[in-house]
Amino acid sequence: MKPGAPIAGDPEAYIGQLDGWRRDIVEALRAAVLAAAPLEERIKWTHLVYFSNGPVLLIRAEAERVLFGFWRGKRLRQIEPRLKPGGKFELATMVLREGDTVGPAIVAQLVRQAVALNRELGDPSKPSA
């Protein structure tokens, strides 16, 4: 686990452990994500993870940054070029620091497209057939 990352059993407790700019960013992202599409929200791997036919996206608060990542993020870079590829699958993540923002319209577009990709292509955490 990254230093400064909260430990919690549910999303409300996760956010309750944050303060300052990290809490502001996580609350804004979470609100925009939940407004964009029907998703299952839970704590997995010690951060917020959202599911629809498999994992769709994550929000992870760390001491000096907040990560906003998508399992099929490599396919979403035309919507948001700050998504940087890395990790397993087609993961791409945006690093947000104090003063950074992502507009709710962009978040909604990213979420809806990511959900559509999971519906079309299946669970991104499972091997392709």
- 69-123: per-residue pLDDT in tens? 999 999 999 999 999 998 777 999 999 999 999 999 999 999 999 999 999 999 9
116: CB partners within 8 A, 6+ apart: none
Architecture of the domain defined by 11-120: Alpha-Beta Complex (3.90)
pTM over 0.85: yes
5, 47 contact by CB (below 8 A): yes
CB atoms within 10 A of CB 94: 21
* pLDDT tens column, 39-48: 999 999 889 9
**The two structure tokens encoding residue 38:** 């029907």
* pLDDT for position 16: 93
In the chain, where the domains are located: 11-120
Look up residue 64 and give its amino acid: E
- Segment (H or E) for 106: helix 104-121
